Amino acid sequence: MNRITRAAEALGVPKLKNVREKLAKIAAVLITISGLFLNIQPASANTLAQAKVALSDPRPSGTSNYTFTGGQTGGLVTSAAIQCVMVTVSTTTGGTVAPTNFTGNGATINAASSTLINSSATGWSLAQSDGAGSSAGAKNVFKYTHATTGVTPSTTSGATFEIDGVTNSSVADTKYFFTLQTFTNTDCATGPTDNAAPLFINTAGSTLSLTVDQTLTFTVNAVGTGTGCDGTTTTGTSTATTIPFGTVTSASNGVVCQDLTASTNATNGYTVFARYTAAPTSALGQTIADWTGTNGAPTTFPAAGTEAYGITTNDASLSVTGNGANRFTSPSQNWSKLTTSNAEVAFESAGVTSTTYRIGHQVGVSLTTKPGTYTTTVIYTCTPVF
């Protein structure tokens, strides 16, 4: 071996050790260069900035629309013809396991609200599958593909993509991921362009409750003398508790009025009734005759000289009974007798605030009406319907 080495040196041939070292260095360089070529990968997908997903109804087990928005300054949507939008709803970022009881079965893509696909459904189709490790029927992987040339997003800032009719997870207050990826190929794997994985949670609704008390106010108020009252003029001044006609003669009827003011929050309003305890009666037991008109069919009050006592109202919107809602006010002011039973003098079909009705009392006497002081008690009742 030594003789061979010396002979080689004499002939100018390099030592074998040096040859081996040089060959090793050349091989290393070739491997490195080869590695550079072997490791060339497609550019990684662009991560969209300020991505978010909004749920129309975040309540557990509720049906909701999921609206993704992404692509702002620093992470705009790529302006390229995309042929696949893939969405995966999962329990972990980059994962495939669907949230508990989540299902996209029956969900649809709202193309009109999705600027990421230029707000058009033309040429697009949806395929769904259960993510690996998910329960059967989860359908938490959505692949929306365009069979021909693809579609360029109509905006590169704040692009949207909406999935409607999704059934939320039954678990509240747990974070889940809405991973959206776009590709320039229908295989939803090659040609990645954009991606984002915003978080969302399902939140139980808060039950709001409140109580509104029933309200009702009702007052009887005075009307002065010489005041217009339902087609006539008062001859005496009333109070909240008195209807004083004073002295009445056959030459002139007596007219006294009272104002009834009511308010309520009753759903179906109220009815105001009037009655008396008896016909006006003297100490000797004599009475003033009732007018012949009735509440259902009131008539014009007689001129002075006829014995009669009657009542009227200016409410033209009574409940429709008898001659109708405006039976006291049309075609002229009409009057009816009072009885010991409640009869309608005001009506509202819904709640009102501070509504006033003028109630007129009129009495006439004849030349044969017996002398004396006649009295009775008039009772008003306001009955709300809640």
Give the chain as a 3 state SS string.
CHHHHHHHHHCCCCCHHHHHHHHHHHHHHHHHHHHHHHCCCCCCCEECCCCEEEECCCCCCCEEEEEEEECCCCCCCCCCCECEEEEEEECCCCCCCCCCCCECCCCEECHHHCHHHCCCCCCEEEEEECCCCCCCCCCCEEEEEECCCCECCCCCCCEEEEEEEEECCCCCCCCEEEEEEEECCCCCCCCEEEEECCEECCCCCCCCCCCCCCCEEEEEEECCCCCEECCEECCCCCCCCCCCCCCCECCECEEEEEEEEEEECCCCCEEEEEEECCCCECCCCCECCECCCCCCCCECCCCCCCCEEEEEECCCCCCCCCCCCCCCCCCCCCEECCCCCCEEEEEECCCEEEEEEEEEEEEECCCCCCCCCCECCEEEEEEECC
Determine the average pLDDT of the residues in 110-122.
96
Using 50, 70 and 90 to split pLDDT, how confident is the model at 31?
very low
Any long-range contacts for 116-119 (C-beta under 8 Å, 24+ apart)? Answer: 116/68, 116/77, 116/82, 116/85, 116/153, 116/159, 116/160, 116/161, 116/182, 117/82, 117/85, 117/144, 117/146, 117/151, 117/153, 117/161, 118/151, 118/152, 118/153, 118/154, 119/154
Tens digits of residue pLDDT in 155-165: 999 999 999 99
pLDDT above 70: percentage of residues in the chain? 89
Question: How many alpha carbons lie under 13 Å from residue 199 in its C-beta half-sphere?
Answer: 6
pLDDT beyond 70 at 249:
yes
Pick the closest to residue 107 from 51, 166, 190 (CA basis): 166
Q: What is the pLDDT of residue 322?
A: 81
> What's the whole-number mean pLDDT along residues 162-169?
98
Who's near 251: CB < 8 A, 6+ residues apart? 304, 305
Residues 165, 133 contacting (CB under 8 angstroms) = no
Angle in degrees, CA 107, 110, 116, rounded to 5 = 120
* 346-365 pLDDT tens trace: 999 999 999 999 999 999 99
Model pTM above 0.75 = no
Reading the block at residue 39, the tokens are 């490791």
pLDDT(46) > 70: yes
Question: d(Cα 96, Cα 179) in Å, to the nearest integer?
Answer: 10
Q: Are 181 and 86 in contact (CB under 8 A)?
A: yes
Class of domain 216-384: mainly beta
Q: pLDDT band at 12, cuts 50/70/90?
A: low
pLDDT at 35: 36
- In order of 1, 2, 16, 22, the CA distances from 19 in angstroms are 17, 17, 5, 5
For position 9, what pLDDT does the model report? 53
Contact 289, 376 (CB under 8 A): no
Q: Which of 100-109, 232-241, 316-325, 376-385 has the lowest mean pLDDT?
A: 316-325
For residue range 364-373, what is the model confidence (pLDDT) as tens digits?
999 999 999 9
Rounded distance between C-alpha atoms, residue 386 and residue 384, angstroms:
6
pLDDT averaged over every residue in the chain: 90
Least confident of 111-120, 254-263, 279-288, 313-322: 313-322
Please, which residues have CB within 8 angstroms of residue 386's CB and are 6 or more apart in sequence? 214, 266, 267, 268
Number of neighbours of residue 20 by Cβ within 10 angstroms: 10
Residue 19 has pLDDT above 60, yes or no: no
Tell me which CATH code domain 46-200 carries.
2.60.40
| pLDDT score recorded for residue 44 | 58
Taking the C-alpha atoms of residue 143 and residue 84, their distance in angstroms, rounded to an integer, is 7
Better-scored residue on pLDDT, 73 or 363:
363
pLDDT grade for 39, boundaries at 50, 70 and 90: very low
* Beta-carbon contacts of residue 29 (< 8 Å; ≥ 6 apart): none
Scan for tokens 């000797």, then name that residue: 284
Rounded Cα–Cα distance for residues 362 and 264 (Å): 29
Residues of the chain with CATH 2.60.40: 46-200, 216-384
Q: Is the pLDDT of residue 202 over 90?
A: yes
